[in-house]
């Protein structure tokens, strides 16, 4: 069974280092396939295909607000994490399932689509754009991965109750002509994070037996 670890609200850099440690253990088969769930204080990360030009707020203002920026290994462009967003790091040996990164990304998207359906939110994919979308225009979940010898790390960021106005600090995922949304914005109510986590765990365990 897929192991789950809940790291709570943890600074991004600390979680990044803990991911690396867990990755090494999974690579050596000293730890099982693991889904990490957490939240982060506001932080901006730049993926391998990203550019600093997609950070809109000047660095001095980011520093004033205590918002760090990290260049990381994952695929994708610029993204933002903040409290109320559910971040998931699936540290999984694809060799146990299928050595196909495109298949794995589609599986992650499907997990999130099923999770959102449980909360009566209709979500879908857009061909050519990684992630999960609502009404074709608004991104509700970003996905960015890195693989090390067919073990995945980094992962997904699902907007649950987080402050969407902070996304104005960046061009999310480098896509300027589409917006972002959250579960609470779509439902017009606060969504209990523990309920979201429980459904997330159930669905991921069904997909990654």
Q: What is the pLDDT of residue 1?
A: 87
Task: Enumerate the active-site residues.
Answer: 173
Alpha-carbon distance of 152 to 105, in angstroms, equals 10
Q: What is the pLDDT of residue 82?
A: 98
pLDDT at 135 over 90: no
Buried b (16+ CB within 10 A) or exposed e, 120-129: ebebebeeee
Q: Which domains does the chain have, with CATH numbers?
A: 3-207 (3.30.930.10)
Q: Which tens digits make up the pLDDT trace of 158-184?
A: 999 999 999 999 998 777 778 999 999
Evaluate whether 143 touches 156 at the Cβ level (below 8 Å): yes
Q: Which tens digits make up the pLDDT trace of 18-74?
A: 999 999 999 999 999 999 999 999 999 999 999 999 999 999 999 999 999 999 999
Alpha-carbon Rg for the chain, nearest whole angstrom, is 16
């Amino acid at each position: 069974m897929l192991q789950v670890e809940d790291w709570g609200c943890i600074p991004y850099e600390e979680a990044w280092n803990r991911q690396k440690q867990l990755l090494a253990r999974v690579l050596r088969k000293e730890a099982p396939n693991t889904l990490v769930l957490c939240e982060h204080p506001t932080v901006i990360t730049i993926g391998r295909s990203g550019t600093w030009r997609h950070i809109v707020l000047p660095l001095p203002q980011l520093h004033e607000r205590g918002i760090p920026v990290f260049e990381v290994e994952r695929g994708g462009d610029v993204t933002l994490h903040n409290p109320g967003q559910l971040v998931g790091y699936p540290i999984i040996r694809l060799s146990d399932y299928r050595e196909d990164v495109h298949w794995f990304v589609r599986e992650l998207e499907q997990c999130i689509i099923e999770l959102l359906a449980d909360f009566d939110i209709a979500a879908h994919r857009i061909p050519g754009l990684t992630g999960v979308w609502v009404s074709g225009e608004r991104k509700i979940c970003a996905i960015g991965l890195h693989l090390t010898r067919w073990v995945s790390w980094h992962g997904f960021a699902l907007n649950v109750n987080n402050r969407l106005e902070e996304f104005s600090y960046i061009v999310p995922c480098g896509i300027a002509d589409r917006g972002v949304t959250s579960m609470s914005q779509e439902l017009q109510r606060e969504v209990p994070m523990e309920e979201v986590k429980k459904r997330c765990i159930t669905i991921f365990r069904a997909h990654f037996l």
